[in-house]
Amino acid sequence: MNLEIVPIHRKESLREDGMLFVRTESMLDTMVKIPLLVASMIIVVAVIPIQSSFSSPRALDLIIYQDGTTHVSTEIDVDPIVPDYELELFGSTIDNFVVVNENGFLLSTDVIGNSALIETFGSSVISVEYDIHDLVSKQSRVWTFSLDTTSDFTLLLPKNSAIVGMTNLPINMEIIDEQNQLTLSAGNTEIDYLFSTSPIITEPITPVDTTPQSDYLIFAIIGGSAVAAITGAFIVIRSKQKTIKPIQEQQITQEKQKIETVDAETIFKLKPDLREDDKEIVKFISNNGGYALESELRKKFLQPRTTMWRAVKRLERNGVIEIEKKDLQNLVKLRKNMEEEE
């Protein structure tokens, strides 16, 4: 008995010349569609996390210091499903890079060149702060700030600085603590400024020879009044500037007296796992009345900003200190309720 096997996915037809014609259209369609389907799924899987990583910042604030260093502070909405977020920085010379989520939890970061890879751990909002040295340059007496960004931002210029040139007009301008704060639109922005170290001196107006004698007296009175007003205003401003620092020092002294400090040895008993270099920082703060500015710690231990900032954040995570903002500086204080928590 002869068995005849006929494939399922083929069609047979008898041509006019008697030859059997076999069509395999279904098999070819299947062979073509399956690789296309697999490739489409791979592309979709690869594109989804990339698309979710594109975010625009909620807010972008910049502060320029006297030496040209710029402090960048921004809040960004991120996808909590994606474990990592890649942030493009405004340059490569970065210091004091810190990222926290909406709950104040410090996130792990890896800064490579002008980008940072941030482990979000399910966060939906992250706050990023860092110092950068790439945005301001100096030529002779003129300082130039340059930034190209895709979002609006605010910029706080240093004290005693005067703007001498801009590439575009600001959305808003106001004075905050004797400093110019600008709200600028997205795009490429360049601002030229210089520092004014001496008051503007106005020369008295010299009358022309044809002026009558009575007019000389009027001009002299007006000129003298103007000079007296300018001099008086300058004296008042200088006196205010001189009294600001003693008042701030007095407030800091009063705060020192109010702080009930914990003895350093008590802290070491409660926290026996502290590093030796961290213990030296705790001893200095304790002997200083319970707190110190971060700049004082850097001068005392001759450490760069990044190293000292990491040490301070490490002590904060261990519950030894608290960090408080004081006139754009970090005030490091020993916690006074450590014994109660233990």
- Please check whether residue 189 is in contact with residue 146, taking contact to mean a CB–CB distance below 8 angstroms: yes
Which helix or strand (DSSP H or E) is residue 118 part of?
A: strand 115-119
- The whole-number pLDDT of residue 272 equals 86
Longest dimension (CA), the chain: 144
- The whole-number pLDDT of residue 205 equals 40
**Residues ≥6 apart with Cβ < 8 Å to 255:** 291
- The whole-number pLDDT of residue 251 equals 53
77 backbone φψ class: left, alpha, beta (φ>0; ψ -120 to 50): beta
Any idea which architecture 264-341 has in CATH? Answer: Orthogonal Bundle (1.10)
Count of residues in the chain = 342
Give domain 57-195's CATH superfamily. Answer: tricorn interacting facor f3 domain (2.60.40.1730)
**Where in the chain do CATH 1.10.10.10 domains reside?**
264-341
- CA-atom Rg of the chain in angstroms: 34
The CB density around residue 125, as the number of other CB atoms within 10 Å, is 16
Tokens of 35: 């690789």
**Where in the chain do CATH 2.60.40.1730 domains reside?**
57-195
Nearest alpha carbon to residue 155 among 87, 58, 147:
147
Angle at CA of residue 88, ends 84 and 94, nearest 5°: 105
Q: What's the CA gap between 96 and 94, in Å, rounded?
A: 7
Which residues of the chain carry a pLDDT beneath 70?
1-56, 197-262, 327-328, 338-342
28 backbone φψ class: left, alpha, beta (φ>0; ψ -120 to 50): alpha
Q: What's the CA gap between 333 and 322, in Å, rounded?
A: 5
- The whole-number pLDDT of residue 30 equals 54
**Residues ≥6 apart with Cβ < 8 Å to 198:** none
DSSP state of 106: B
* Residues forming a β-bridge with 335: none
